[in-house]
Amino acid sequence: MHKVLLFVPCLIDQLYPEMGVALLKLLRHFEFDVQYRSDLTCCGQPAFNAGQLTEARAVARGVVSTLCSDSLADTPVVCPSGSCTAMMRKFYPELFHGQPEEKASCAVGSRILELSEFLTRYDLLGKLRGSYQKRVAFHNSCHSARELELRTEFRALFEGIEGLELIDPSPEPVCCGFGGLFCQKFQGISEGMAITRLEMCRDTQVEEIVSNDPGCIMHMRLIADQQGFKLPIRHSIELLVDAMKIT
Amino acid sequence: MRNNSSSKATILGLLRAHSTGGGATPPQAVAASEVFANLSQGGSEELFEQFSRAVTTLKGEVHRSNDMRAAAQLIAKLTTDGGISRCVRQRAPILDHLFQGYPELSTLESGMCVIDGNDSATEIPHSTIEQAQCAFTTVDALVARTGSLVLRSTSAGGRRLSVLPPVHCVVATLKQLSPSLTPWLRTIKDDRSWSCSTIVTGPSRTADIERIIVLGAHGPKRLIVIVIADPGETLN
Amino acid sequence: MASASEHSQFIDRSEVKAADQTHRKRLLKVIASYDSVVTNQKQHQFHDWQSARETAATIKDYVLDNLPELLEQFERNATANGMQVLWAKDVADAHTLVDEILARHNIKKVVKSKSMTSEELELNEFLEHRGIETLESDLGELIVQLAHEKPYHIVTPAMHKSKEEISEIFERTLGCAPTHDAEELTGIARDHLRQVYITADLGISGANFLLADDGSILILENEGNARLTTACPRVHLAIAGIEKLLPSITDLELFLPLLATSGTGQQMTAYNSIIRGPKRPHEGDGPEVMYLILLDNGRSTIYSKPEVRASLRCIRCGACLNACPVYKTVGGHTYNTPYSGPIGAVITPHLKGMKEWGHLAYASSLCGACTDVCPVKIPLHHMLLTNRQEAHAETPSLFWSSALKLWAGAMQHRFIVDNGARAARLGMSLLQLCAPRLAKKIPKPAARSFSSWWRNNEE
pLDDT at B236 over 60: no
Mean pLDDT of the region C322-340: 96
Please name the residues between 368 and 427 in chain C that touch chain A, using a CB distance below 8 Å: 368-369, 371-372, 385, 387-393, 400-401, 404-405, 407-409, 411-412, 414, 417, 421
Enumerate the residues of chain C whose CB falls inside 8 A of the CB of residue A185.
Answer: 362-363, 400
Measured CA to CA, the distance from residue A185 to residue A190 in angstroms comes to: 9
- B11/C242 Cβ within 8 A: yes
- Touching partners of A (3+ C-beta pairs < 8 Å): C
Enumerate the residues of chain C whose CB falls inside 8 A of the CB of residue B24.
Answer: 62, 65-66
Closest CA relative to residue A175, chosen from A223, A120, A237, A231: A223
- C169 with C76, same domain: the answer is yes
pLDDT at C192 over 60: yes
Residue B1's pLDDT band, with cuts at 50, 70 and 90, is: low
pLDDT at A15 over 70: yes
Closest CA relative to residue A166, chosen from A176, A154, A151, A150: A154
- C411/A59 Cβ within 8 A: yes
Residue B3's pLDDT band, with cuts at 50, 70 and 90, is: low
Interface test with A, best of C38, C49, C411 (most A CBs within 10 A): C411
Q: Is B228 helix (H, G, I), strand (E, B) or coil?
A: strand
Extents of the domains making up chain B: 42-235
- C203 with C62, same domain: the answer is yes
Mean pLDDT of the region B134-157: 95
pLDDT at C3 over 70: no
Q: Give me the percent of chain B exceeding a pLDDT of 70.
A: 94
Please name the residues between 348 and 367 in chain C that touch chain A, using a CB distance below 8 Å: 362-367
Phi and psi angles of residue C298, each rounded to the nearest 5 degrees, phi first: 100, -10
User: pLDDT value at position C424?
Assistant: 80
Q: For residues A166 and C427, which has the higher predicted lDDT (pLDDT)? A: A166
User: pLDDT value at position C1?
Assistant: 47
Return the minimum-mean-pLDDT range out of A136-140, B144-148, C9-13, C446-450: C446-450
Torsion of CA A70, A75, A76, A80, to 10 degrees: -80
Return the minimum-mean-pLDDT range out of B16-25, C33-42, C273-282, C352-361: B16-25
- Which DSSP letter does residue B36 get? B
Q: Are C297 and B14 a contacting pair, CB within 8 Å?
A: no
Q: From the CA atom positions of chain C, what is the Rg in Å?
A: 25
Measured CA to CA, the distance from residue A117 to residue A79 in angstroms comes to: 10
Q: Are B84 and B77 a contacting pair, CB within 8 Å?
A: no
* CATH architecture for the domain at A126-243: 3-Layer(aba) Sandwich (3.40)
User: pLDDT value at position C437?
Assistant: 75
Please name the residues between 409 and 448 in chain C that touch chain B, using a CB distance below 8 Å: none
The total number of structural domains in chain C stands at: 3
Q: Give me the percent of chain C exceeding a pLDDT of 70.
A: 99
Give the domain CATH number at C208.
3.40.50.10420
pLDDT at C2 over 70: no
Domain extent at residue C332? 5-12+318-394
- C365/A182 Cβ within 8 A: yes
Extents of the domains making up chain A: 3-121, 126-243
- C295 with C215, same domain: the answer is yes
Q: Are C221 and C227 a contacting pair, CB within 8 Å?
A: yes
Mean of the per-residue pLDDT values for chain A?
Answer: 95
**Residue C53 falls within a domain, yes or no?**
yes
Interface test with C, best of B53, B113, B150, B210 (most C CBs within 10 A): B210
Q: Which chain C residue has the Cα nearest residue B39?
A: C45
Q: Print the SS3 string covering chain C.
A: CCCCHHHHHHHHHHHHHHCCHHHHHHHHHHHHHHHHHHHHHHHHHECCHHHHHHHHHHHHHHHHHCHHHHHHHHHHHHHHCCCEEEEECCHHHHHHHHHHHHHHCCCCEEEECCCHHHHHCCHHHHHHHCCCEEEECCHHHHHHHHCCCCCCCCCCCCCCCCHHHHHHHHHHHHCCCCCCCHHHHHHHHHHHHHHHHHHCCEEEECCCEEECCCCEEEEEECCCHHHHHCCCCCEEEEEEECCCEECCHHHHHHHHHHHHHHHHCCCCCCEEEEECCCCCCCCCCCCCEEEEEEECCCHHHHHCCCCCHHHHHCCCCCHHHHHCHHHHHHCHHHHCCCCCHHHHHHHHHHHHCHHHHCHHHHCCCCCCHHHHHCCCCCCHHHHHHHHHHHHHHHCCCHHHHHHHHHHHHHHCCHHHHHHHHHHHHHHHHHHHHHCHHHHCCCCCCCCCCHHHHHHHHHC
- Out of C18, C362, C443, the one facing A222 most closely (by C-beta) is C443
Mean pLDDT of the region C436-459: 86
User: pLDDT value at position C458?
Assistant: 86
pLDDT tens, residue by residue, C148-191: 999 888 888 998 899 999 999 999 999 999 999 999 999 999 99
- B218/C225 Cβ within 8 A: yes
Measured CA to CA, the distance from residue B98 to residue C61 in angstroms comes to: 50
pLDDT at A1 over 80: no
Is C89 at the interface with chain B, CB within 8 A? yes
C297 sits in the region (left: phi over 0; alpha: psi -120 to 50; else beta) called: left
Residue C216's pLDDT band, with cuts at 50, 70 and 90, is: very high
- The burial of C135, by beta-carbon neighbours within 10 Å (0-12 exposed, 13-18 middle, 19 or more buried), is given as buried
User: pLDDT value at position B26?
Assistant: 80
Q: For residues B175 and A109, which has the higher predicted lDDT (pLDDT)? A: B175
- CA-to-CA separations, C296 to C242, C309, C446, in angstroms, rounded: 6, 14, 54
Mean pLDDT of the region B22-48: 88
- B27/C30 Cβ within 8 A: no
- C250 with C137, same domain: the answer is yes
pLDDT at B23 over 90: no
Residue C402's pLDDT band, with cuts at 50, 70 and 90, is: very high
**Residue C312 falls within a domain, yes or no?**
no
Measure B4 CA to nearest chain C CA, in Å: 6
pLDDT tens, residue by residue, B99-134: 999 999 999 999 999 987 677 766 778 889 999 999
**Residue C436 falls within a domain, yes or no?**
yes
- C202 with C153, same domain: the answer is yes
- Out of A16, A51, A187, the one facing C446 most closely (by C-beta) is A16
- CA-to-CA separations, B154 to B69, C77, C283, in angstroms, rounded: 27, 19, 7
**Touch A-B: 3+ C-beta pairs under 8 A:** no
Mean pLDDT of the region A64-80: 93
Mean of the per-residue pLDDT values for chain C?
Answer: 94
* Cβ neighbours of C456 (radius 10 Å): 9
User: pLDDT value at position C166?
Assistant: 96
pLDDT tens, residue by residue, C421-441: 888 888 888 887 888 777 777
Q: Which chain B residue has the Cα nearest residue C279?
A: B195
Closest CA relative to residue A141, chosen from C367, B20, C79: C367
Q: Are C318 and C343 a contacting pair, CB within 8 Å?
A: no
Q: Which CATH class is domain B42-235?
A: alpha beta
**Touch C-A: 3+ C-beta pairs under 8 A:** yes
**Residue C311 falls within a domain, yes or no?**
no
- C440/A15 Cβ within 8 A: no
pLDDT tens, residue by residue, C24-78: 998 999 899 999 999 999 999 999 999 999 999 999 999 999 999 999 999 999 9
User: pLDDT value at position A218?
Assistant: 97
- C93/B116 Cβ within 8 A: no
Mean of the per-residue pLDDT values for chain B?
Answer: 92
pTM equals 0.95
